[in-house]
Structure 1
Amino acid sequence: MESRPVCEPCSAQNKPSVAVKLCSDCEEKLCGYCVDHHSKFKAFRSNHLIDLSAAGSRLHSSAKHCDVHEESLLDFYCSHHSVTCCRSCIPLNHQTCKEVLPIEVASRNIKDSTLLQDTLGDMDNVLKILTYLLENRDHNIKKFEDCEPVILKQVRKVKEHIMTQVDKLEENIIKDLSCMKQKHKTRINEEKIEITKLTTEVLEDKEQIEFMQEHGSNNQLFLAIQQQEKKEQAVKIRIEKMSATFFDTEFTFNVLKDLKIEFIGSVTETSTTCKFQHKPIKLEQAQANPESIKPITCIKLERELQLKTGERYNLTDIAVTNDNKLLLCNFDFFNTNLYIYSNHDRYATKIAFESRPYGVEIIPKDDMAVVTLPDEKSLQYVNTKTATKYNKMQTTETCFGVCTIKNNILLGGYGTIYMLDFEGTFLRKIKTHDLEDIKSIYFNANSQQVICRTRIRILGLTLAGDVVYTHNVNGESGLTLDREGNVYYSDETLNKILRLSSDGNYKLGIPNNDNVKGPNAIAFNESFTKLFIISRFESVQIYNCCESMNVIKNLLFQIS
């Protein structure tokens, strides 16, 4: 028998009584007596009380505390970064952001907002696609049933020409057909179970959102929606993986022209990918209409960057600032410079170093970047706006690739990744067990994985150092991510830019990729509309990124 909820204030006074309501703001269950007193105090009058008999098992506790500053409440929302944050996060990560709103302001009218409607709408779209998948699997099973009598009729027709000898051969054909059918039925039923499970998860999440819409506070609903966005990334990855691994199979009977007694034909199977792509249509902010995220479908050569003349180049890394400055590291003994080009086009200036700069990474605040100087085992901060050098820090080890993760820096050394804070304090190291210099490194915030590249391999690692995936590559450097977490890398031998899925499990093609010549380091601009490619360490090619639009709308149209 289910235990009845207990009033928490009364229990604290050793006066047990049955709770009838939950104060979602205080996160306490209250009896009728405490509910009456709760409403009498001015400070509690605006609190939201939920009837426990109506809530049942759908009570939801949204995360209210900051992941970084665990003692602080999530009191603010940054519209620029689309994240909730606490008061302590603002001076660290959102000092230059123009729209950092109190949760009360950001969540105002949330129940009537487009954010809620788009969240529910996107969940409906996911459910519709999952329903389509189930129907598709059932349809494939029906194909088996439809094609079987056709094949058997062909078998019987052949049987007439070879008389009694065909009986044994017919038995073998029917057995093969039955085995194939059973094998693929088993596979498809397993796929249906996977789809049903994911459908159930999405339905439960949707019911939770709808329940919070009806019974929760604005703050709770807003935070629940924010949490749902993280879940949707995982759902999207799982759906994309289904798209790549589900196949439609059909059987045909191949009649042998020159009939022989010992062989009358065979049943073959043909599988085609059940292609589709899920794309959320939900808006990212409660009161705004940001540009929707569209996957990159191809790259097209726009032009080659006109580099500063009179220089000897050995370009090893490239980065693009938020204000469209292009930074180029020149790993050359005679020209140890970081070149800066404004608006992706015009040479602006250069910053000279005492040793060769190899890697460069933008720090997402204060117009700063960090440059690796492997010859002297150090890092150099530079201001990209004033083109001046700031602090230099020793790394104790030779490091090449560099990226940032929150308030820390990741450096690629010899078979090891080093984590430092922005002040240069060593925090930890991650062993890769791959004894090569790490020339490129990125952090995938979606999967919480470190992606690094040596001259022969790409590694996907957890922050604990566990290997998630590996892929063999050709060339020293060239690695970047798009906003969906897909991994892009260059291949000097193939003269191609290749792409891995965000989980690293399968390759994705990029059409119109034929003009790439000896690609090395690569980087997107902030809007992911351009891809910059260092070619043969001596020039820079600029490509336009083509993006597909209305992916999910087109898919839903096809389904309907």
Structure 2
Amino acid sequence: MAAKIDHDDLLTCPICYEQFTNPKCLPCNHTFCQLCLKSYIITQLGGEGKQAKGFPCPVCRQEVTVTDPELTSESIADTMPDNHVITSLIERSAQVSASCEDEKWCGPCYSDNEKTLAVSWCTQCSETLCENCVKYHRRFRKSKHEIISVDEMKKEKTKPAQPLDVEEPCMKHTGEVLKVYCVSHKEMCCVICLATSHRKCEQISTFEEMVSTGSKNTEYVKKFAEHLDNLEERTDKLRNKTDENLTTLNNRHDEISKKVTTTVQQAIDKLDHLRSSFLTTFKQMHKGESIKLTEAKERIEVLQQNVKKGKKLLKTVQEQGSPKQVFITTEKLKMQLKQHIDSLQTELINASFIDYNLRTDDVIETIRNNLTSVVEVDINQTLGLCSSLKEISSIANCFFIEDIEPIDVMKLEVHKEHSVKPNGEITGGTYLPDGRLVFCCFTNKKLKVYDKDGNFLFDTSCKKRCPRDTCLISSSEIIVSFDDGINKYEIQQNELKEKEKISSKCEAWGLAATKDNIIVGYEKEVDVLSMDGEVVQSFSRSRDHVSYVAVALTGNIYYSDGNDIVCKTLDGREVRRFTNPKLQRLLGIAVDKNDNVYVCGNESNNICVFSADGSHSKMLIMDINLPLNIGFNSTETRLYVCTSEDGCLFYSLNKKG
């Protein structure tokens, strides 16, 4: 008999906190009761009968896309796939609990509120029977059912249960189940995925083939479990550190407030006014910083809980699942945790651990009649949250089989896959959250959208303006640079809808973005803007040609200055500068999650990759005709290069050895 599943939180709905009823799974892999999810969606969308393009997950707040625009709020939950793993675990748990409770007493007698000791067991009915009920059972089920003793039944139940093995639904195609694994893109696929998005992929394996070389305790799964342990430890430390910082900040707030109050009370009536003014301002400042840390803490706690549940689910499936199920569960957990960590890192990219620094005026008594303020409080930012999150992200990168070790740029190689050749010159592009790709067609004055395999989907006219570059600023918005400034566009299913213009200088070119800032490349400078277009910082350049820009996960900015690649912080401090003599007229630039830098040599017709510190470089692509811009897909396994004459070229990015 299988052991009782002692993981109640795995089987508990995070909305109603009861055991799941008809569990439904969202694309982010969070599961909810069908009725709970239905009620939540109705509330989120503002009532029954409402239609929407999506809704946020109740746990991680990732946007869930509603693919059918005709669905209303009360029917969306019904279309979400069932979580068969959770359903099977609930059934097993129930069977074990029922057996432990009922096998002592005769089932028919017990149903009549009589407790009679059971002596036999019907293998077909799975029912315990006393001596009298055995006779009646045999009369009504003569020669049909096998009846054994209770002792024999107990021996039967001690046999190991069959490994858990269920059909996993495809999150992209309703009604389809996952059948194969694309090794090239590290994605699980149904038959429709295979026929549409992976038809050109050469490394396709069945799940049975993926696990045929080992059991559920293979080194691959063991290593993933170790990463989960490491990730849980890091998130726990980060959460505690954030909590400690919040406590310290509150204590410092109280300490400074008292000191300021004491100082002001010793002064004249004018100082009373200044005290009140200071406390109001300081309280607002403190409230804002406390909210930031509290929100960061809550997001980290969500990640922490996801990791803990992931560990428990993996352990349970290892104990009770087939090798295929263990592999599928591992891959699902990888995708879920990587999505959460990427989302968390994007949201908290500029967050910092902070402290207050009090500065007082020692000559208050002599100048009190001219005072305009008593004290000032500075926020001392130390090691940012993003730095700690980067450590967590490095663990998440290890979830992928080929990325166990940091990328060595000298071992990188590329293989050309296909190309996109619209009429006119492509000068920039960006991937959307759903994997589609937007290109700026400069000469055609259009934004063109393709799927990840280069198939054209639709285009949007830029109204006689020439788009130059584009980047994502949220899950639903992109920005596009033109010769007269920058515009926002809303991402829709079959359209990019133009929104407001962002105030900026003319002749904007390269674009990149952090959570709070837009980075714009011009011919003679690079500007850091707020989201409403106000210039925060400006860096001069020595070369009069277009400037593309890139932003690393650390928030550092990369751009070209002459033949140098320059790395600066958002506040203008130069971190490093490096070059390669084989690169001429540096244009497009991109930075991966390991801070390796990829640069287009427009006149030298090549692509060079630099290590994070600039000490090593390698010519990644040679003899490419006038490359302009460069970028990655979300998993950084594909590279696209925009060229002046050959359209956009797609390459798979691999690591030798």
TM-score of the superposition, structure 2-length normalised? 0.47
Counterparts of 1:47 and 1:121, CA distance in 2: 27
Question: CA distance change for structure 1 residues 182 and 4 in 2, over 3 Å: closer, same or farther?
Answer: closer
- Give the deviation of 1:248 after TM superposition: 0.6
Alpha carbons 2:469, 2:510 under 8 Å: kept:
yes
Distance 1:93 1:22 in 2: 30
Look up the match of 1:272.
381
Query: Are the equivalent residues in 2 in contact too, given 1:453–1:459 (CA < 8 A)?
Result: no
Offset from partner CA, 1:221-257 (integer Å, 9 cap, x none): 3223322333223322313432413441314141243
Deviation at residue 509 of structure 1 after TM alignment: 1.9
Corresponding residue of 1:493: 524
Partner residue in 2 for 1:227: 332
The answer as to 2:319 corresponding to 1:214 is yes
Q: Number of residue pairs matched?
A: 414
CA 1:81–1:34 in structure 2 vs 1: closer, same or farther (change >3 Å)? farther
Distance across 1 between alignment mates of 2:452 and 2:359: 67
Aligned to 2:115: none
One-letter code aligned to 1:112: N
Q: Quick check: 2:420–2:454 contact (8 Å CA) kept in 1?
A: no
Q: 1:410 & 1:147 partners in 2: Cα distance? A: 47
Deviation of 1:270 (Å): 1.6
Contiguous gaps of at least 5 residues in structure 2: 1-15, 23-85, 99-122, 128-143, 145-158, 526-540, 542-546, 559-566, 568-575, 615-657
Q: Distance in 1 between matches of 2:511 and 2:293?
A: 37
One-letter amino acid matched to 2:377: T
C-alpha separation between the residues in 1 aligned to 2:178 and 2:322? 15
CA offsets, 1:73-121, max 9 Å, x none? 4322232321223456657666775643220121344631343334334
Q: SS of the counterpart of 2:421? A: strand
Query: Where does 1:486-525 land on structure 2 (aligned, <5 Å)?
Result: 491-494=522-525, 495=541, 497-500=548-551, 508-510=556-558, 511=567, 512-513=576-577, 519-521=586-588
Aligned counterparts, 1:331-480, within 5 A? 364=417, 368-374=418-424, 412-413=440-441, 414=444, 416-419=446-449, 427-429=457-459, 431=460, 436-439=465-468, 454-455=482-483, 456-457=485-486, 462=491, 464=493, 465=496
Aligned mates of 1:238, 1:222 — CA distance in 2: 26
Determine if contact 1:490/1:520 at 8 Å carries over to the other structure: no
Contact 1:532-1:540 at 8 Å conserved across structures:
no
The residue aligned with 2:368 is 261
Question: What corresponds to 1:77 in structure 2?
Answer: 181
Closer/same/farther in 2, CA of residues 147 and 514 from structure 1, 3 Å limit? same
**Identity of matched residues, %:** 13
Alpha carbons 2:439, 2:449 under 8 Å: kept: yes
Give the Cα separation in 2 of the matches to 1:421 and 1:4.
37
8 Å contact 1:479–1:521 — kept in the other structure?
Answer: no
Q: Give CA-to-partner distance per residue, 1:513-542, whole Å, 9 cap, x none.
A: 5769865445799x996634245xx45576
**CA distance in 1 between partners of 2:169 and 2:186 (Å):** 16
Q: Return the alpha-carbon distance in structure 2 between the equivalents of residues 175 and 450 of structure 1.
A: 38
Cα 1:78–1:433 shift into 2, 3 Å: same
Taking the TM superposition and a 5 Å limit, the aligned residue runs for 1:38-49 are 48=162
Contact 2:548 2:588 in 1 (8 A): no
State how far apart, in whole Å, the 2-side matches of 1:479 and 1:23 are: 49
Classify 1:118/1:371 alpha carbon distance in 2 versus 1 (closer, same or farther; 3 Å): same
Deviation at 1:489, TM superposition (A): 8.2
In 2, Cα distance between the equivalents of 1:34 and 1:470? 71
Matched, 1:195 2:300: yes
> Does the CA-based 8 Å contact 1:373-1:400 persist in structure 2?
no
Aligned to 1:329: none
Q: Structure 1, residues 453-506: CA drift from partner, whole Å, max 9, x if none?
A: 54544867635225799986876866899xxxxx9986433245422468xxx9
Task: Give 1:136's aligned residue.
Answer: 242
TM-score computed with the length of structure 1 as normaliser: 0.54
Q: Tell me if the contact between 2:471 and 2:478 (Cα under 8 Å) persists in the aligned partners.
A: yes
C-alpha distance in structure 2 between counterparts of 1:475 and 1:418, whole Å: 21
Answer yes or no: is 1:237 the counterpart of 2:343.
yes
- The letter of the residue matching 1:533 is C
**1:547: Cα distance to partner?**
3.0
Structure 1 residue 142: Cα displacement: 2.0
1:106 matched residue in structure 2: 210
| 2:598 corresponds to | 531
Higher RCO (CA < 8 A, seq sep 6+)? 1
